[in-house]
A and B are shown apart, each in its own frame.
Chain A
């Protein structure tokens, strides 16, 4: 709020080990002041440990934590200008909502807290509930108290540890927008830990995808979604169809690849793997970028599009779109999401089809990775 970088959170080589287990590998991360930053990953990936090291609730095994100019690596939590919204809210059960929210102010020796607390309760729309005890509130209300209790201290950084995990889906959506609104209003840096990729993408300006104690990729939600660097990111954020292919030739800015007897075109700029002729590359495309055309009309497909033939194995109608699973020689379970605009009645399981998409939507990944990385974790968390 004062100078430009005075409030950046800088983690330099920070790591955490428990005995022989490494929860966080040495990690460098800068969270710019005023941003909404998300740490995204499956459970056990080290995202919460990273957050707790920023809060001071966990002592790093190595590296440093800076808040702006100040090094806070070894400061106890009560000396850090940082507040946390805990996963289970951790509201004080013996204090009413007003006193819960006033707690931080009182500990810093501020005497007249009434006006500030009332304003904060207004901001989270809980003015009426000030004299109730936490257990008398609903989950969503408790969540807002937890946010208010942390925000009232105008910390340099607000840390949110899976703050919406305990809420049902509808309330979660509502709270996502609410938190986003509050963040825009107060302009404080938010670092949000979540395993829900949709939550991270809707709320954050920048997302860091973590896997096994490392940051896999960092970027804006669009960037991560459109240009994943690794198979883990490609599979963990949404769904990707990955095809094993071989580099054939280079044609200007494009690479031409051979896959299952056909040819696919990939813009070189969108390939994160080295491309030497004859080398292997994983070609990815998102299911919603693909169009389906019945094999009888294959001739009508425009020139220059990537195409693959296959047979519809399964289809499910989910309202706005229809999700198809296509059995093709290059990929056994190719997923295609088609908008329900003009539905072709012939596109039913068993039909022969051609899948085609604009080559600009293709991305390339290093083939030396586990093609299914990030797939299982998503299912685990959903269960």
Chain B
């Protein structure tokens, strides 16, 4: 650069060069706040937790890094039922969200007309109150003497769910069903929004074209609409499954000791038993398991092929 500024005959060149150099750095300056944020609030805690997970010691004597990887094995062998339960509950909630959310997203995208915005607001409305309050409300809804339980009882639905092991006795509260209902309710908007976005992008003329080419409405849905909404299905299921698998609030408030999920175990280990290495190891196992499942899922669904 110094050589350029020393060449006076080509007057315009030195004038245009320096701004271009400064311009080249702009992307990095723009990235800086985000990167700093990630380092301080993501990378550093991760490293700290990773080191905690391989420490041994006690609260009184303090912890030391001893590369004690056996903590991972011990944690897994003790808490694998809770891991499996988390995956099962999260999967059930995700499927329920998809079954409930898809028709609604379809309605908003194609049929709602002038009601579209209102329904969208209603979908997002629960976010205006706290997650905790909303989950506590479900305690009232599912209360033993409440109308929901008595209706289900009268309709003999409880007999079926009892037989399936989803409920026990005449209760819904403190059963797997209650926890799955809570998860479904709390994560439903995360399913609806991406589904709506991808459905809304589908050109309505494709439906007309399919009908014109002898596809009945249901075939049009199976062969055109659903395949084109796959990006929304994939991101919706991920946005529901991942947080649901790590959730502990629903199991805590709506479940019992028999419905403890891995999130509850981690929370107890961290905050009550104060066994930090086990808690950290469990967190990493959960993270690895979710990453693995998500990778397989994305590969299988083949959405990278879609426009």
Chain A interfacial positions (CB closer than 8 Å to B): 55-57, 76-78, 82-84, 86, 88, 90-94, 103-104, 107-108, 133, 135, 149-150, 153
Contact = CB atoms under 8 A, between A and B. Distances in A.
Contacts of B203: 88, 90
Interface of B: 203, 205-206, 208-216, 219, 223-224, 227-228, 305-307
Given A77-B208, A88-B205, A107-B219, A94 B307 contact: yes
B213 A94 contact: no
Contacts of A90: 203, 205-206, 208-209
Contact of B214 (A78, A92, A93): A78
A83 B213 contact: yes
Contacts of A82: 212
Nearest to A94: B227
B213 A153 contact: yes
Chain B CB within 10 Å, residue with most, of A76, A82, A90: A90
A90 B305 CA distance: 19
A189 to B, nearest CB: 16
B306 A94 contact: yes
Given A78-B215, A150-B212, 6 more contacts: A56-B211, A86-B209, A90-B203, A90-B208, A90-B209, A93-B228
B113 to A, nearest CB: 15
A151 to B, nearest CB: 11
* Dominant secondary structure at the B interface: helix
Nearest to A159: B212
Given A78-B216, A90-B203, A90-B205, A103 B307 contact: no
B211 A104 contact: no
B157 to A, nearest CB: 38
A63 B204 CA distance: 27
Given A92-B224, A103-B210, A86 B215 contact: no
B165 to A, nearest CB: 40
B213 A149 contact: yes
Contacts of A133: 307
Chain A CB within 10 Å, residue with most, of B206, B212, B219, B305: B212
A86 B213 CA distance: 12
Contacts of B216: 78
7 contacts: A55-B212, A56-B212, A92-B206, A94-B306, A103-B213, A103-B215, A103-B223
B212 A135 contact: no
A153 B227 contact: no
B271 to A, nearest CB: 48
A84 B214 contact: no
A90 B206 CA distance: 5
Given A78-B216, A107-B215, A107-B219, A92 B209 contact: yes
B234 to A, nearest CB: 14
Contacts of B215: 78, 103, 107
- Please name the 3 residue pairs, one residue from A and one from B, whose CB atoms are nearest each other, closest first: A104-B213, A90-B209, A107-B214
A111 to B, nearest CB: 15
Nearest to A52: B208
Given A88-B205, A90-B203, A90-B206, A107 B307 contact: no
B228 A84 contact: no
A108 B208 contact: no
B217 to A, nearest CB: 8
Nearest to B224: A92
Nearest to A108: B214
A9 B216 CA distance: 24
Contacts of B219: 107
Chain A CB within 10 Å, residue with most, of B209, B214, B216: B209
Contacts of B212: 55-57, 77-78, 82-84, 150
A15 B211 CA distance: 22
A150 B214 CA distance: 11
A86 B214 contact: no
A83 B224 CA distance: 17
Nearest to A87: B205
Contacts of A149: 213
Contacts of A92: 206, 209-210, 224
A161 to B, nearest CB: 10
Contacts of B227: 94
B208 A86 contact: yes
B143 to A, nearest CB: 47
Nearest to B204: A90
Contacts of A91: 209
Contact of B208 (A57, A94, A107, A150): A57
B214 A153 contact: yes
A270 B182 CA distance: 82
Contacts of A84: 208-209, 212
A88 B205 CA distance: 8
A299 to B, nearest CB: 64
B213 A57 contact: no
A304 to B, nearest CB: 57
A76 B212 CA distance: 9
A149 B213 CA distance: 8
Given A90-B203, A93-B307, A104 B208 contact: no
A92 B213 CA distance: 12
A153 B208 CA distance: 16
A57 B211 contact: yes
Contacts of A55: 212
A55 to B, nearest CB: 6
Nearest to A93: B307
Contact of A135 (B205, B209, B213, B307): B307
A302 B253 CA distance: 106
A55 B307 CA distance: 28
A141 B205 CA distance: 19
Contacts of A57: 208, 211-212
Contacts of B208: 57, 77, 84, 86, 90
A188 B210 CA distance: 21
A77 B206 contact: no
A87 to B, nearest CB: 8
Contacts of B305: 94
Nearest to A84: B212
A274 B210 CA distance: 51
A90 B215 CA distance: 15
A77 to B, nearest CB: 4
Nearest to B306: A94
